[in-house]
Structures are given as C-alpha cells and as structure tokens.
Structure 1
Amino acid sequence: MGPSPDGVDLRGSEIGGEFTLTSDEGKDVSWSDFDGQYRLVYFGFAYCPDICPTDVGRFSQGLSSFEQENPELGAKVQPIFVTIDPERDTPEVVGEFIDNFHPRLIGLTGTPEQIAKVAEDFGVVAIKGEETAEGGYLMEHSTFTYLFGPQGEPLGIVPTDKGPEGVAAELERWVR
C-alpha cells in the first residue's frame, strides 16, 4: 500500500485533526464522525471560477469510477469539501456547489475562526484576494486533494491533475 509515482506520501505527517463544522444541511459534523472511513478531502470555495470545480469534478469522477470497479472499497471512501471562504459560503451556498458533483460529497463551512483553525491544522494556505469595486473577490489557496485513512491519519495527496483516471488509480493503491 502506498502512493503511485504521481501521488505524494503523507504517512507520518502531522496534518489533520479533530474539528466540528457545519454541513451543507446545517448539521454539526465532526472529523471523528468519519472514523472507520477513508476521507478524500478538498479545501476550496464555491465562488471559485475554475480550479475548485475542476479538481472536485475530477476527484468525484475518479471516486465514481473506483466505486464501479470496487463497490465495497468505494463505499469506504467519504468525499468531503471544506470551504476556505466562510464569509460567502453559507451551508446553502456550499450545498448548491456540491450538488454538482459526487452524490455522497459532504460540504462543510463554519465561522471564519473555525475555518482558519481547520485550514491551519490541515496545512492549507488560504488568502483573500483584493476586492473589486462591486465587492467580489477570489481566494488564493493550496489545491491539494488529501486522502486520510480510517483512523483519520494522513495517507497521501491524490493527483487530481492526472484526471479521474489518476484519482481512481491512486484510490486503488491505498484503499483496503
């Protein structure tokens, strides 16, 4: 078990940790709620014009392919989207965003303080860009798709840049 030549091994790293955030359905969700499941985690924002929907689409399609080939193993993987823009990404906005992707994808948001803490714990960099005259802005952020094991331990970075096929192949190497 381990990463492909395209993946990154995170075993033994100190990223991750317990949190409680708000789901797209308005419910409290904690990291420990996923104990026993692999977790495919992406940090992004719903108003992202390109990178976030591309990456989330690729890992969603890759997970779907993996599920078709390995239904029992695929069921062990929980996809999770965490916003890095809690000022705009309410549960409703996050829900609208994730509805475009994998049917089991869970979207999480929280207060700016909660999101800042989770981003720090997970090694995610997120910086709010300059506001336009109309009040819009973009978020600059790291764009890794993390894979965590059944006890919440970091395993690796999934290569979404290799498309859905690369994601499915990476899940094939890790999920048991």
Structure 2
Amino acid sequence: MSVGTFFLFACSSPPLQKTSLSLHFKDIPPYLVDVAAIEVINRYRSPFNDPYVEHLSPVTPADAIRSWASARFRAVGQEGTLLVTIADGSIEGKSLDTNKDFKALFILEQGANFVGTLSVTLEVLDAQNASLGSIVAYSSASRTLAEDASLTDRDYAMFYVTQALLDAFDSEASRQIDKHFHLFLR
C-alpha cells in the first residue's frame, strides 16, 4: 500500500452503520383496524445501479414503510387483512454540475442531489381477499450534498431523504385514512 493510498483511507469517514440511525414517528396513537392481520408487500425492486442509490441508504424507504406500518396500525378484528403494498421506494442520486474554473478553488458548491419517491397502496381485504377499500399515497423529498461530502455526510443526506419521505407520506396517508377508511377503524 502506498503512502498516498494509506492517507486516503485515513482521511475518509466510514459509512454509517445501519443501526446508528433510527426513524422517529409522531406520538400519535396507532389506528385500530378491524382486520385480523396487517401485511406489507414490497413490489419495488431496486435496480442496484445508477442513478438508483436507495440500497446504499442506512434505512431504505421500503424498510421505513415496514416500520411505519408496524407503528401506525394495530389489527383488532377477527378476519380480513390490511395490505400495505410498496410500489415505489426509490432514491435517485444525481451529480450536479460544478464550476471548474479558478474561482471554484475558493468556493464550495453542491455536488449531488438525492431525490426520493414513495408510492404505497393501503387496501382492506375481507376474509376471501376481496377488496373492501383502498387508498394510494405518494410522497417525494430531496436533499443536496456538498461536493466535498464524506461517506458519512452522504449517509445522513440519504437518511434525511428517507425521513422526509416518511413524514410527508404519513401526513398524506393519514389524511386519506381518516377520510376513506372510517368504516374499517375502531
């Protein structure tokens, strides 16, 4: 290993451990749903290549929705299922153009942008799996990152996007649940 390579390793920050960040949920009591089970299905499949970077996030949007569903719903019925289906849980990372002239040596610019998107369907099914009602909620969030950002900075930025996605999603889903799912709530 050369001295230069060693120096680069010594100066870089390690990425965050997945356990070092956790999502917070509003202190709102969970919805008591008249179903026997709550099931989360992830239909979104990450391409695992540019520009999609959700698989590098400390908490993926899909994992966030699983945690959200667990915290926000309680099954209190005898039959039926609340099906939570994730259609999109992506985070796209894009490089931003920065100045390359002499002046750029003296200024710090934003070098990357992360844009997250969530699309989730909540559907109440009866015992025969017939749909009794459904809603679809969407959210999006973004965050820029300085051109000299470390891996830790990148992880915090992606976590921020996931948390912002979840907060916006929770607001929209709650609004729709209160409006359209009143027959299924206790």
Of the two, which has the highest radius of gyration? 2
TM above 0.5, yes or no, is: no
Greater fraction of residues in strand: 2
Q: TM-score, normalised by structure 2?
A: 0.29
